[in-house]
Amino acid sequence: MPKSSSQLPAVIQDHSRVTQAILDFVSQIPGSNVPGAKDPEKEARRLAARAQQRAGLTAGSLALPPGPLGWLTVLPEVIAIWKIQAQMVSDIAAAYGQHQELGREQMLWCLFRHTAAQAFRDLVVRVGDRLLFRRITYSVIERVAKTVGIKVTQRAIGSGISRWLPLVGAMGVGGYAYYDTAQVARTAIAMFGQPFTTETPPADEPDAETATPAG
């Protein structure tokens, strides 16, 4: 029978390991060989479709080992999917001709906005028709990563339980990775398809009437 969450391996229970993996990811932005595109949205969707397929196959393959052995693949699976997604975001940025604008704030937003939107309330605000990314300290990024890490760990527990049904579980894990990558792509395309800036705004700007948390 599947184990309860209290019996899960420490690598899954300890969300600090996931948090550290997130921090490691956003500290370095992947390079890209994708040239700027005449139709960046079309190219971005092509890149997204390819990344979704890779993510689904990768996650499904790693989820094949049954039972206790399957638990050991949970964190490697999460990290492998993040690598695919981070490269996708980098390539989408390049397709839009904005790779130089892609920083750790934007990478965090693209990868994890759909996972824990509340974690970004102090990081990203909408001012009119543009997103404003505040340049933040490591401690703030660590706090965001910790919030996201808890959410990802909770999801990983469910993913780990599915490994007790090898074939069905692998299909489910692969399907979720495909869907999750599509959400990351959607956020990236929306972000690069509209104006955005990265700055530290003055204390009195933007105010509550002109700026709203980006949802």
Residue 207 structure tokens: 């105010």
> Quick one: DSSP state of residue 128?
T
Around Cβ 43, how many Cβ atoms within 10 Å?
A: 19
How do 124-127 and 130-134 pair as beta strands?
A: antiparallel
Is-contact 130 195, C-beta < 8 A? yes
How many whole angstroms separate alpha carbon 75 and alpha carbon 102?
Answer: 26
Q: Which residues contact 42 (CB under 8 A, 6 or more apart)?
A: none
In degrees, rounded to 5, the angle at the alpha carbon of residue 26 between the alpha carbons of residues 196 and 100 is 45
Question: pLDDT below 50 — which residues of the chain?
Answer: 1-13, 67-71, 161, 164, 167-168, 201-211
Domain spans in the chain, listed from the N-terminal domain onward: 5-213
Residue of 73, 102, 105, 74 lying closest to 88 (CA atoms) = 102
* pLDDT value, residue 180: 92
Confidence (pLDDT) at 10: 47
When the pLDDT of each residue in the chain is averaged and rounded to a whole number, the result is 76
